[in-house]
A and B are shown apart, each in its own frame.
Chain A
Amino acid sequence: MITKKIYLYFPKSETEKPIVYHLVKDFDLIVNIFRAKVTSEEEGYLSLEVTGTQENIDRAFIFLGGFDVVIHAGNKGVHWDEGRCAQCGACVVHCPTGALSIVDRATRTIAFNEESCVECLACIAACPFGACSSAF
């Protein structure tokens, strides 16, 4: 079993299709949705984590390729720009999962652990330096 992070961009034409249902039902994937906004007649996005066998995940990706959705595999919807981060640590208290944390107390160095991020977006509001951003 492996886990992959993906986010999907839905153009207007695909927002009424029950894609997640098929991921679960047809490919036996465990789906963990971080963020979603898919309303009919609008663009939408879906940021999720899928867990399953390599084979099923590969098949699911082929299935997704049949729709007019843009697949960003391996990407999270939240990006931390190390160069823009000023290492102040203002974000740390606002991050509920500890994805943003002080990893070296002596030099007060901040790091972002993408694996722990649940895309709550609290860091984006909290960071004065604009180091955190959302893909959508």
Chain B
Amino acid sequence: MTKTYAEINQKIASGKAVVLTAEEVIDYVDKRGLEAAAKEVDVVTTATFGPMCSSGCFLNFGHSTPKMRISEAWINDVMAYCGVAAVDVYLGATQLRHNDPANMYHPGEFRYGGGHVIEDLVAGKKLQLFGLSYGTDDYPRREIRTLFDINDLNQAIMVNPRNCYQNYNVAVNVSDKRIYTYLGILRAKMRNMTYCSAGQLAPLLNDPLYETIGVGTSIWLAGARGIVYAQGTQHCSLVERGDNGVPVEGAGTLALSANMKEMLPEFVRGTSFKGYGVSLALGVGIPIPILNPEILRRTTVRDRDITACVIDYSEDYPQKTGKVLARFNYEELRSGEVELLGKKVPVTSLSSYNKALKICNLLKAEIEDGRFLLSEPSQRLPLGQGMQSLNITGPAR
């Protein structure tokens, strides 16, 4: 029994598609059996909501009178990259605000940065643009300061080189000093542990071998219709996998893009990590077309079938030793406590299962209503790809 994208889209368009969330499909297949369920179910919705650096956006301001070729720009005092074109800038999610003391007084608070500017833009707030230029014959203006909101921009396109990490490290701190990381505050002597994955809801854990999610896949990006435009940076599919094909570490990633003017503020949130920096948490929903029973079977993956590696972020992570302290599955992690090296350690998540579940249901409703059609990828994501290290070469100083 197989289906095509066209057949599924026809059913969606006529409002007859059977859509389940990645959570619902587990029990459904248990009850109905794989073959029967594969006939009945057309789409499974997956989602994730968590902080993810490697996000940003292209903004086009339109031209002032007289015109200006902006060479340096700050939005709410957060610097945007101007080496694009006269009034095009790229604002990165992890950019700090001008004069942020960073970690000069450790640990820094990082209350506002690129991620927060992106949040404020989507929320429709008024922001301040300050720009400088050296002035040219055709673009004589040398300085600009003005308020604007997202509606004043010609385009506001989110372009995220890396999102939806397939799986991720679980962080712990074995040292005797508290540390501050992008996986949160880690107390000394393994007194807490953090992870960041939607587990059984996560897009690439439901399609571990990239059979349906590829370049060109239509996605739900914070409520906007978006697209997977490339493999994500650091996409590294050549990793250890369980019997179910599910990787036990980072592995695949996706590069995503969508129109920020269509986004919902609830799912675009700037984040501040004490002692680390700023980032952006983003809601992503990806539909998986049930083309055959095998694809359906992979979407029935449960938290207990997905394993992640515990890494010491005080030494092994920064020094790249590759040491793994232990492995746990997401059911164990989600229970809130695991035993590591003979010690009971409380576990919390930075990824929001609650929001991911909400996104699964929002996307499900859109597909059921015939408002979201699926697209067949034009390219598959590479399966046998490794990751390079940066080797320091050149004259020693």
Q: A residues touching B (Cβ–Cβ < 8 Å)?
A: 86-94, 102, 107-110, 125-126, 128-130
Contact = CB atoms under 8 A, between A and B. Distances in A.
A81 to B, nearest CB: 12
B355 A86 contact: yes
B60 interface: no
Contacts of B184: 90, 126, 128
Given A86-B49, A93-B192, A128-B51, A108 B353 contact: yes
Contacts of A88: 50, 348-352, 354
Interface in B344-386: 346-355, 357
A109 B354 contact: yes
B11 interface: no
A131 to B, nearest CB: 10
A107 B357 contact: yes
B221 to A, nearest CB: 16
B327 interface: no
Interface residues of B, number: 29
Interface string B300-339: 0000000000000000000000000000000000101000
Given A107-B354, A108-B353, A125-B185, A89 B348 contact: yes
Nearest to A131: B269
A92 B348 contact: yes
Contacts of B142: none
B352 A94 contact: no
A92, A93, A94, A108 — most chain B CB neighbours (10 Å)? A93
Contacts of B279: 128
B184, B192, B279, B334 — most chain A CB neighbours (10 Å)? B184
Contact of A89 (B51, B185, B349): B349
Nearest to A84: B269
Nearest to A122: B185
A92 B193 CA distance: 12
Contacts of B355: 86-87
A129 B185 contact: no
B269 A86 contact: yes
Contacts of B336: 92, 102
Nearest to B265: A83
B194 interface: yes
B349 A90 contact: yes
Interface stretch (B70-78, B147-155, B243-251, B270-278): B270-278
B271 A128 contact: yes
Interface in B76-108: 107
B273 A128 contact: yes
A87 B352 contact: yes
Determine the main DSSP class of B at the interface with A: strand
A128 to B, nearest CB: 4
A90, A94, A110, A125 — most chain B CB neighbours (10 Å)? A90
Contact of B281 (A91, A94, A109, A129): A129
Interface string B35-68: 0000000000000011100000000000000000
A115 to B, nearest CB: 22
A108 B273 contact: no
A106 to B, nearest CB: 9
Contacts of B281: 86, 128-129
A128 B348 contact: no
A41 to B, nearest CB: 24
Given A86-B352, A87-B354, A94 B185 contact: yes
B276 to A, nearest CB: 9
Given A87-B353, A93-B347, A129-B281, 6 more contacts: A92-B336, A93-B348, A102-B336, A107-B353, A126-B184, A128-B51
Contacts of A87: 352-355
Contacts of A128: 51, 184, 271-273, 279, 281, 350
B111 interface: yes
A107 B359 CA distance: 12
Contacts of B357: 107-108
A102 B354 CA distance: 11
B382 to A, nearest CB: 31
A102 B336 CA distance: 10
A128 B51 CA distance: 9
B271 A129 contact: yes
Nearest to B346: A93
Contact of B269 (A89, A126, A129): A129
A38 B247 CA distance: 55
A129 B354 CA distance: 15
A36 to B, nearest CB: 23
